[in-house]
Amino acid sequence: MFDMHCHVDLIDPMNRFCATAAMLNISILAMTTTPKAYYAETRMLANYSSVNVALGLHPQLVSERKQELAIFDRYAASSRFIGEVGLDFSKRFYSSKEDQIIVFEHIIQSCARAKTISIHSAFADKQVLDILDKYKTTEHNNCILHWYSGSLAQLERAIEMGCYFSINEQMLKSINGTKIIERIPIERIVLESDAPFVAGINKAELLQGSLTRTQDGLSKMKDGAVKNILDYTSRILLGI
């Protein structure tokens, strides 16, 4: 099974979580929220072949960490995976809107090709897609919209642009989330936990339970077993 958006560095102890996940046959695309964390995490998890670490600068941290963009640039060329990046125009982070746009646009410009990018788009669905469109990012990279919660019109646009979507258990439980999932072709969907933010997932066993329930929910919704399709798409996005 694949968890395509997980914050292992916010789970203590990270190494045990990753080791148990590997034993449970779960491969993880690990998000980072700052470039400094990326550097530390790639070193700490170098021996875990089931974990790929993505280089990120979370939009909610842009106001305090935007100076780390220089560190981002140092690793951008060598990192195949980018995330978590994006825009968050919810009330709490709206004041950093301008800086978020500058940072995200800079990051997207550096993703010229062959990257897999996990993107946050809370209350900024249109603006995120405008930037991806402007730099034709989806033509040369795999863009995954993580926990998409935007409008159905922008969802259609994202599907047309070739975006992928990582889906978590919480989305399946909400009316808006199910409306969104119903419209996405199954071959554009992968699983995510967004642990530890969703339902307090802090153990690999809990992660396995959540991913399994999400997979089962998707099978029900899409009228057929989806495991093979989800695994296949995840492998493409991870390049394995």
Q: Which residues bind Zn ion (CB under 5 A)?
A: 84, 194
CA distances (Å), 100 to each of 52, 53, 57, 121, 129, in order?
A: 25, 22, 10, 11, 14
Q: How far is the CB of 54 from Zn ion (least distance, A)?
A: 10
Which lies closer to Zn ion via its Cβ, residue 63 or residue 219?
Answer: 63
Which lies closer to Zn ion via its Cβ, residue 3 or residue 194?
Answer: 194
Q: How far is the CB of 5 from Zn ion (least distance, A)?
A: 6
Which lies closer to Zn ion via its Cβ, residue 118 or residue 127?
Answer: 118
DSSP state, 5?
E
Backbone torsions φ then ψ of 195, nearest 5 degrees: -60, 145
Q: Are 234 and 2 in contact (CB under 8 A)?
A: yes
Which lies closer to Zn ion via its Cβ, residue 27 or residue 32?
Answer: 32
Cis peptide leading into 41, omega within 30 of 0? no
Q: How far is the CB of 28 from Zn ion (least distance, A)?
A: 13
Q: How far is the CB of 9 from Zn ion (least distance, A)?
A: 11
CA distances (Å), 30 to each of 133, 145, 189, 194, in order?
A: 26, 15, 17, 9
